[in-house]
């Protein structure tokens, strides 16, 4: 501290004790501590103001550099605007899909856009000619032949009761 070593500080303390006296020395040290705290506070405040001025001047220079670049629009780089536009696009798509679904639900006579096409294989029938290959058209519905009835199990022969 100020280039004073501990032996020199001890000599100063002894001289202060002799000159000032033991009764007034604690009050003097207290006032000296308050004065040092006030000076440190002022120094840190000054340093803060200087740092703020330096940051402000650096920001001004950076802003000038951005403004000097042609074709750079800082307002278009705002991420909140981009997020809002994406959300609005999603909402409009959802409303359109909801409107389409509602109109399809409200009009039951309209044919669905794509009905599932089921290819039915004809069941083999005995004593008939072989089936012709079926050509499935996009708009035609496939014809389904009725299945042949399954014969019931024959009943066991009844025997006459003797007796």
Q: One digit per residue, pLDDT tens: the chain, 163 residues?
A: 567 788 888 888 888 888 888 888 889 889 989 999 999 999 999 999 988 988 888 888 887 877 777 776 666 677 788 888 899 999 999 999 988 888 877 776 656 566 556 666 655 555 555 555 555 444 455 555 666 666 666 666 666 655 5
CA distance 17 to 26: 10
Structure tokens at 26: 């604690």
C-alpha distance from residue 96 to each of 22, 93, 135 (Å): 92, 5, 37
**Overall number of domains in the chain:** 1
**Cα distances (Å, whole numbers) of residue 103 to 38, 99, 109:** 78, 6, 11
Residue 87 lies in a domain: no
Q: Model pTM?
A: 0.32
- 84 part of a folded domain: no
Please answer whether residues 95 and 103 qualify as being in contact, where contact means their C-beta atoms are separated by less than 8 angstroms.
no
Q: In this structure, is residue 68 part of a structural domain?
A: yes
Within a domain: residue 123?
no
How is residue 126 annotated by DSSP? T
Tell whether 26 is covered by a domain: yes
Q: Is residue 150 included in any domain, yes or no?
A: no
List CB contacts of 12: < 8 A, sequence separation 6 or more. Answer: 4
- Whether 33 is in a domain gets the answer yes
Q: Which residue range(s) make up the domain with 35?
A: 6-72
In a domain, 64, yes or no: yes
Instruction: Give which of 129, 128, 123 is closest to 145, Cα–Cα.
Output: 123
Are 139 and 114 contacting, i.e. CB atoms less than 8 angstroms apart? no
């Amino acid at each position: 501290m100020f280039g004073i070593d501990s032996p020199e500080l001890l000599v100063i303390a002894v001289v202060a004790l002799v000159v000032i006296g033991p009764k007034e020395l604690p009050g003097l040290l207290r006032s000296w501590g308050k004065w040092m705290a006030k000076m440190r506070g002022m120094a840190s405040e000054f340093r803060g103001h200087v740092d703020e001025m330096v940051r402000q001047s650096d920001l001004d220079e950076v802003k000038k550099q951005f403004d000097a670049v042609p074709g750079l629009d800082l307002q278009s780089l705002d991420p909140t605007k981009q997020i809002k536009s994406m959300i609005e696009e999603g909402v409009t798509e959802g409303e359109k899909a909801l409107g389409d679904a509602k109109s399809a639900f409200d009009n039951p006579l309209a044919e669905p856009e794509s009905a599932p096409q089921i290819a039915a294989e004809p069941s083999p029938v005995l004593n008939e000619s072989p089936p012709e290959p079926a050509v499935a058209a996009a708009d035609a519905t496939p014809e389904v032949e009725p299945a042949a009835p399954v014969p019931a199990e024959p009943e066991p022969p009844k025997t006459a009761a003797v007796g």
